[in-house]
A and B are shown apart, each in its own frame.
Chain A
Amino acid sequence: MMGFEDCFRLLYDRLKTEIIVTSAGNTSELWWEMSEESERVFYLEASMSLTSLFAAGIALGNPGKTIIAFSGDGAFTMNPGMLFVEKQLDLPNLKHFLLSNGCYGSTNDLTIPYSQTIDYPGLARAAGLSRVYSITSLQELEQQLDTIIKDPGHTFTVLHVQPLGRRALSPPLDGPEVKFRFGRYLERNGGRTIFDTQLK
């Protein structure tokens, strides 16, 4: 099992050009703490279990970009049916990472009681997903990350990590600022027009 921060540090060091969508709690807080990025990252803090489908909408409109969605296992267990929709969409540029730490990271690491019994990769395979990865060590992640990210095709990757054990700060950005910074970034970088009013 990986340390949460070690895992995320590796991801941050390697994912330099992709579009990132983080979820409530640890993934938003840690990405902000490590990067203070405010353009290519959508901090979707206000969403339980909808990160990957939110990211899917972005991915559908940006086929030339790789979209990374981070979910926590607390969110995932609320809506595992997301996998059926991801399978149906089969977006080759959507890469879904499930951070499995067995607890609700945004609520003081309270244990998910049934987390030890759930086989997340097995669930994904049963949902019909073909490119499913289960990663338990930094070495494995380092070796497989390029394949997961760069080979075309939707992927679902379970990252087995320890609870973070602390709270980091939420990104200090109001929702509309997150939207505009992210959207303008996409518009400037080859994305479709999003906003009705364009800045000069």
Chain B
Amino acid sequence: MPNARDAVTGQIVDATAKCGITAIASLPDGWITDLIAAYSSDRRFRHIAVNREESAIGFCSGAYLGGIASMALMGASGFLTCIYALTKINYTYQIPILIGITLRGRPGDRAKFHQSNGLYLEAVIKAIDIPFIPIERSEDIQKIPVAYAHSRTMTRPVVVGFTRELLQGQA
């Protein structure tokens, strides 16, 4: 019987598959290593381990034009390095993309080097007008297909943000 953490991982993976997503481009954050491993070992997906987060944006944007549904998965800090790629590629050409990130720096995250994310991450997302859907409890996981569909409808990026408590099966 899976523990709560594994169960949440499985639910996220299944919700992603429900979108029709078949490609995951990721760079690790400590909170999502289980998730990345799950995608990597699941035959419904092709997992691409990218060299930097912007490469995930580039690859997933091209995959859209290849007719392949995909998700870019990364940590909060990595997401903040993607502003150029998102505003240039996805905004200029109106290419939708679903991006999964960790919500580092929220109260409870004891990593001092992530506190800047707590201060600025959501403010930056808001500043560039990306719809942001926090995934804080297991019942929120069903919002992932909604986020994906919304991205395609508005032909822009949409971010879903995973909390530590959710990913650890505590919420």
Interface residues of A (CB under 8 A from B): 21, 42, 44, 46-51, 53-62, 79, 81-82, 84-85, 88-89, 175-176, 178-179, 182-183, 186-187, 191-194, 196
Contacts and interface: CB of A to CB of B under 8 A. Distances in A.
A61 B85 CA distance: 21
Given A46-B89, A81-B51, 13 more contacts: A42-B65, A50-B85, A53-B59, A56-B59, A57-B23, A57-B62, A58-B65, A60-B66, A60-B68, A82-B55, A85-B49, A85-B55, A85-B59
Contacts of A49: 54
Interface in B102-126: none
Contacts of B61: 54, 57
B95 interface: yes
Contact of B85 (A47, A82, A186): A47
Interface residues of B, number: 33
Interface string B14-25: 000000000100
Nearest to A54: B62
Contact of B64 (A55, A57, A187): A57
B54 A182 contact: no
B92 interface: yes
Contacts of A81: 51-52, 55
Contacts of A194: 64-67
A79 B54 CA distance: 10
B66 A191 contact: yes
A50 B67 contact: no
Contact of B58 (A53, A84, A89, A193): A53
14 contacts: A54-B61, A55-B62, A57-B66, A60-B62, A61-B66, A62-B66, A79-B55, A82-B55, A85-B55, A89-B48, A183-B65, A192-B67, A194-B66, A196-B152
